[in-house]
């Protein structure tokens, strides 16, 4: 049977259409308000763009003369080679009412996207090509059992959409006899990070799962824990008996999602649950196995870890993978400096390793007579997404011909708009026409400054590396001025004329 010629496939509320056997094709959009039956021997190929189920519609099977939903039912195959198809499921997962497919197959390399509601397939789901984009909706599989799920792997799975409490896969009435039940999920394209659940109780329960990027200190808020995690949080729950019975949880991650410390300590990794306001630990970390949550061959560069849970596995729980001992949030490590290239230019440079959550760097400068720093340049982060565990190097040039001391610092801006400052460094001024001599340098504390008479200097001033004025010494016609600094560190000595102009500066290092 072919319905190629119709402008639209529409089943009114009071109507019934039944596909008894063989293969049929629907080339247009589907609006189902009535009863659509698909017998066990039939396959309906849907090649249109949008399939819409009314909440009061029914998709029946061969039972009760084509009006029931207790049989196996035939396949409804979403088949298209040109664009992503859309599905409005019409199923209410909360009330467990609405239409549901008997057996559903996805055969579209562009996938199918859920819009405006949830979807249920009673008996089976098969991935032949493509992914299901759940968006903020749920796909329910099973009919008082977890149903049959086949064809899933690292390129064919349910895409959750990276949000808490959304993009859910729910499998009905999982019992001990069902063994390990897979939830093939990924937060986005090319990011397959599934989970699997084994219920050790004969009392069945409905379980759901989703996954999203990042591991935060408070599960869904707070600082991001990247270094010792896999940058994935799995949200799982049970619908009927939260906090009861024991379950086995297996979660699988990709090597490329591992933090730098996690990779080094992978053999100490464990599944962690967020309970009592923190991520818990276990006394029995164990090396992970290969990526075996798949219908096909074991996935390379992927790892599974498992752990048993009891009363803490509730109606909504958060899990991740951690390793080793660190419980601190990794921070950006920064080395910052600047130096004068010539009379008109100052080079400002810095290195980071690691670089955590950084959006950009702003170079700020303050001249010695000024009280405030002023932005003089900026550079974006080189780290993908603001995170890097390798050394990154930055450099910029500031046009600066000031004859006195200039102070530089960085303002580091994070992705959440928070910011912090680097240490301040001092740079000597533009070379002058005259010289002052300072010796010995480095010094144990006592040193002398010799001043050329042609400078007509009135006084000497001394700053520390932070730009604070710590001493002023009047020259009073002397050519040689002895000085003493009791605290080790780096200082700058400058000569001032009567009008307050800074003539020249010298750096001195006190090393006791």
Name, in order, each residue with C-beta under 8 angstroms of 480's C-beta and a sequence gap of 6 or more: 448, 449, 450, 451
In this prediction, residue 284 carries a pLDDT of: 67
Per-residue b or e along 396-424, where b marks 16 or more CB atoms closer than 10 Å to that residue's CB: bebebebbbbbbbbbbbbbeeeeeeebeb
In this prediction, residue 2 carries a pLDDT of: 41
Rounded Cα gap, residues 137 and 153, in angstroms: 21
Digitized pLDDT (tens) for each residue of the chain, 512 residues in all = 444 444 589 999 999 999 998 899 999 999 999 999 999 999 999 999 999 999 999 999 999 999 999 999 999 999 999 999 999 999 999 899 999 999 999 999 999 999 999 999 999 999 999 999 999 999 999 999 999 999 999 999 999 999 999 999 999 999 999 999 999 999 999 999 999 999 999 999 999 999 999 999 899 988 888 788 999 999 999 999 998 889 999 999 999 999 878 887 888 899 999 998 999 887 666 667 889 999 999 999 999 999 998 888 988 999 999 987 544 456 788 989 888 877 788 889 999 988 888 899 999 999 988 889 999 999 999 988 777 878 899 999 999 988 888 899 999 998 878 889 998 888 877 655 456 778 788 888 888 888 877 777 889 999 887 778 889 999 888 888 889 998 888 898 988 888 887 777 888 888 86
In this prediction, residue 434 carries a pLDDT of: 55
In this prediction, residue 10 carries a pLDDT of: 94
CATH superfamily ID and name for 436-510: Immunoglobulins (2.60.40.10)
User: Model-level pTM?
Assistant: 0.66
Each domain of the chain, given as residue ranges in start order, spans 1-130, 174-329, 334-427, 436-510
SS3 450: strand
In this prediction, residue 7 carries a pLDDT of: 56
In this prediction, residue 430 carries a pLDDT of: 63
Q: Which CATH number fits domain 334-427: 3.50.90.10, 3.20.20.20, 3.60.20.10, 2.60.40.10?
A: 2.60.40.10
Rounded Cα gap, residues 406 and 422, in angstroms: 16
In this prediction, residue 211 carries a pLDDT of: 98
| Of the candidates 376, 378, 351, 358, the residue with the CA atom closest to the CA atom of residue 366 | 376
Same fold, 334-427 and 436-510: yes
Rounded Cα gap, residues 372 and 384, in angstroms: 33
Name, in order, each residue with C-beta under 8 angstroms of 369's C-beta and a sequence gap of 6 or more: 404
Q: Cβ(50)–Cβ(114) under 8 Å?
A: no
């Amino acid at each position: 049977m072919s319905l190629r010629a119709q402008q639209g496939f529409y089943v009114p509320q009071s109507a019934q259409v039944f596909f008894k056997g063989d293969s049929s094709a629907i080339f247009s959009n589907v609006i189902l308000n009535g009863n659509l039956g698909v017998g066990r021997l039939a396959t309906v190929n849907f090649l249109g763009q949008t399939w819409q189920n009314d909440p009061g519609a029914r998709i029946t099977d061969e039972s009760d003369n084509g009006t029931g939903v207790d049989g196996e039912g035939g396949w409804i195959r979403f088949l298209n080679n040109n664009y992503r198809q859309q599905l409005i499921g019409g199923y209410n997962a909360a009330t467990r009412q609405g239409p549901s497919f008997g057996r559903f197959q996805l055969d579209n390399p562009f996938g199918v996207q859920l819009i405006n509601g949830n979807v249920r397939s009673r008996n089976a789901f098969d991935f032949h090509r493509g992914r299901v984009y759940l968006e903020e909706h749920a796909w329910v599989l099973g009919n008082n059992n977890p149903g049959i799920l086949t064809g899933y792997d690292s390129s064919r799975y349910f895409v959750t959409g990276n949000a808490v409490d959304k993009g859910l896969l729910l499998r009905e009435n999982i019992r001990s006899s069902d063994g390990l039940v897979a939830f093939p999920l990924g937060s986005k394209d090319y990011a397959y990070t599934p989970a699997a659940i084994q219920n050790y109780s004969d009392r069945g329960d409905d379980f759901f799962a989703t996954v999203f990027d990042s591991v935060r200190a408070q599960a869904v808020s707070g600082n991001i824990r990247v270094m010792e995690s896999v940058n994935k949080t799995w949200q799982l729950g049970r619908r009927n008996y939260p906090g009861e019975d024991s379950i086995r949880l297996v979660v699988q991650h990709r090597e490329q999602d591992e933090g730098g410390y996690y990779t080094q300590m992978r053999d100490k990794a464990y599944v962690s649950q967020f309970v009592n306001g923190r991520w818990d630990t276990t006394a029995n970390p164990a090396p992970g196995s290969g990526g075996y949550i798949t219908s096909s061959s074991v996935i390379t560069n992927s790892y599974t870890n498992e752990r048993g849970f009891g009363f803490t596995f509730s109606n909504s729980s958060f899990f991740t993978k951690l390793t080793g001992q660190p419980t601190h949030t990794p921070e950006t490590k920064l080395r910052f400096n600047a130096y004068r290239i010539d009379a008109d230019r100052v080079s400002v440079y810095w290195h980071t390793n690691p670089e955590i959550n950084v959006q950009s760097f702003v170079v700020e400068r303050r001249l010695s007579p000024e009280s405030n720093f002023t932005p003089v340049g900026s550079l974006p982060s080189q780290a993908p997404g603001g995170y890097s565990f390798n050394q990154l190097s930055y450099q910029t040039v500031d046009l600066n011909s000031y004859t006195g001391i200039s102070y530089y610092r960085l303002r580091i801006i994070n992705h959440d708009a928070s910011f912090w400052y680097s240490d301040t460094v001092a740079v000597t001024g533009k070379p002058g026409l005259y010289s002052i001599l300072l010796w010995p340098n480095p010094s144990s504390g006592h040193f002398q400054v010799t001043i050329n008479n042609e400078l007509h200097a009135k006084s000497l001033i001394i700053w520390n590396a932070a730009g604070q004025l710590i001493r002023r010494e009047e020259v009073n016609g002397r050519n040689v001025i002895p000085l003493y600094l009791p605290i080790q560190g780096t200082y700058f000595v400058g000569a001032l004329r009567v009008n307050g102009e800074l003539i020249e500066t010298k750096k001195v290092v006190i090393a006791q």
